[in-house]
Structure 1
């Protein structure tokens, strides 16, 4: 059975705690959540262990149980939004998103062309949660 948010696409640019938890709740309700993580390290909460997730052989991985819990049900994309190519890809995803969730410092995403005013020009119906 499809969840009540199965018709919603969420672009998740959040990191650590509140933002990932909000988008995780939306994923639990059926939304398609596309989480953007930075190259190399990904979301900071990957390292919030122990406890660590274990692989099929019972060995600890580098992903914390918190990260796995708060990001279940999401699609994850590694994207460097500090470079023009990454910014262009993020804007392309934002064109088809219904909701964007971010928790950067005020004005940070605008530096990358991903602020509310900039994305509103591409997608007037985008709900921008900051």
Structure 2
């Protein structure tokens, strides 16, 4: 699975930002539902395999399988430290989004474990993924 591209037409941003574009491209429908369901399924699979849920970082890795985020989200205008901060923010937003839509359950500050939420299969891609 890859991070979504920043092809959004519903509004225009004042400044183009690679991390914001990746976030919008990842949660934009119809792919957003697929990615959210994938996060829920990955949490269930992790729980079945390990007897506990993944951490947020482990879930992000399981959903996207990206080894080099700097090559995936190119942002030469920021320092390596700033890119790490932006990437952490992107990951927190994704966890928050998946929690809000209910495919996972995570309470920041409670513990580090992501729990399964509900999985709604509404698209053909979701059906294929769930089988």
- Normalising by structure 2, we get a TM-score of 0.27
More strand by percentage:
1
More helix by percentage:
2
- Normalising by structure 1, we get a TM-score of 0.27
